[in-house]
Structure 1
Amino acid sequence: MAKFYPELTEELQDFIQQQHLFFTATAPHQGRINLSPKGIDTFRILDAHTVAYLDVTGSGNETSAHLIENGRMTIMFCSFTEKPWILRLYGTGQVVRPRDAHWPRLMEHFPTVPGTRQIIQLTIESVQTSCGMGVPLYEYQGERQSLIHWAEKKGTEGLHQYWTEKNQRTIDGLPTYLLDPEPTDK
């Protein structure tokens, strides 16, 4: 049965820290819903009401644009071991980029990961647990290094060029403001 919480309890925080994979979901007012798997030790619990993750370079930048437009976000953790549990964090997301004033303070929580382009921070409005009895059992074998090697090979200039070509607009045409500041008259 589903159970709601107003914040992350110690038990829920322990569960999150045991997971190697999480999923993020965002959607614009009009357009495609974005659902993405994440890993590479990029997730951090900042307090019982706030979490954040390093957003590394990917083929798109949907989450950023959706959060700029409306802030709605869900993060889901799912156990693939004996304890059949699904945990969802509902809240308002914010994009934090290297040019933002609180970037240095947030980056203190994360390791250096090649290809990092921004941090996504979620202010939690509610937390839900539900059973995951239909989720299959899987065994964790380790992190893939492909994305890290790709980013290292690209280098700083190559990543900037990739962001310019591939991460400035979503597949629905929304601006991400990855490289340019958001207009103040939105």
Structure 2
Amino acid sequence: MGKVFDAIDPKLAEWMEAQPLWFVSTAPLAEDGHVNVSPRGHDTFSVLGPNRIGWVDYTGSGVETIAHLRENGRICVMFTSFDGRPRIVRLHGTGIVLLPGDAGFDEVASRHAENPSTRAVIAVDVTRVSDSCGWGVPVMEVRDERDLIRLHAEKKGPDGMAAYRAEKNAVSIDGLPGL
């Protein structure tokens, strides 16, 4: 049976920041809206305090997380161990989108390597921390990180990335405002 905690302790923070892969889940308010689950990776995640996390959000082909957070703020972030002790940790909370120039953006972005694909920072006030067994998660090894996001952004350049975001990140698949 899993455990529920009020905050992220330092040992858990260290474990989460070491995970090479984690998942973000959001949903719009509409009954017929699409639930979204996005994998995340690279060195982008930070524990900012016992009840606050954040990550650097790279440009993607969609904008669901940003659109959902702007509409209702609800979010769940899940980490799972693929090596060592089996474990699943879920962080439920309320998230906000911070763009370059917004207060709080640099607090997260400065903790990680600069990437030309960066479009935002997501900050989450964590209201529930749960830990469960993870016995059904396979044991796997990370071979390498993909560098395609950075290479794609470098090839497009700042103007090309702005045009890409205007085309692909303006609205979510449910028509909610994105960037």
Q: TM-score range by the shorter chain?
A: over 0.9
How far apart are 1:14 and its partner, in Å?
Answer: 2.1
Cα deviation for residue 15 of structure 1 reads 1.5
Shift of the alpha carbon at 1:114?
A: 1.8
| AA at the equivalent of 1:157 | D
1:78 maps to what in 2? 80
Which residue of structure 1 lines up, in the alignment, with residue 14 of structure 2? 14
Distance 1:108 1:54 in 2: 10
The runs of at least 4 aligned residues of structure 1 exceeding 4 Å deviation read none
**Aligned with 1:64 (options 56, 63, 66):** 66
Cross-structure match for 1:102: 104
The 8 Å contact of residues 55 and 123 in structure 2, kept in 1 or not, is answered as yes
Matching residue within 125, 144, 169 for 2:171: 169
Q: Which one-letter code corresponds to 1:125 in the other structure?
A: T
Counting aligned pairs with the same residue, the percent is: 44
Structure 2 residue matching 1:150: 3-state secondary structure: helix
Root-mean-square deviation (Å): 1.1
Aligned residues: 177
- Give the secondary-structure state (helix, strand or coil) at the position aligned to 2:111: coil
TM-score, normalised by the number of residues in structure 2: 0.95
Q: CA deviation at 1:142?
A: 1.7
Extract unaligned runs of 5+ from structure 2: none
SS in 1 for 2:54: strand
How far is 1:74 from its partner? 0.4
Tell me the TM-score normalised to structure 1 length. 0.92
Residue in structure 1 matching 2:45, options 43, 46, 60: 43
Once the two structures are TM-superposed, the CA of residue 61 in structure 1 deviates from its matched residue by 0.6
More off after superposition, 27-36 vs 96-105: 96-105
- Give the Cα separation in 1 of the matches to 2:105 and 2:134: 36
Shift of 1:106: 3.6
Q: Which amino acid aligns with 2:93?
A: G
CA shift at 1:143, angstroms? 0.9
Query: Which residue in the other structure is 1:2 paired with?
Result: 2
Q: Is the 8 A contact 2:98 2:123 kept in 1?
A: yes
Q: Which moved more, 1:82-91 or 1:105-114?
A: 105-114
Structure 1: which 5+ runs fail to align? 179-186
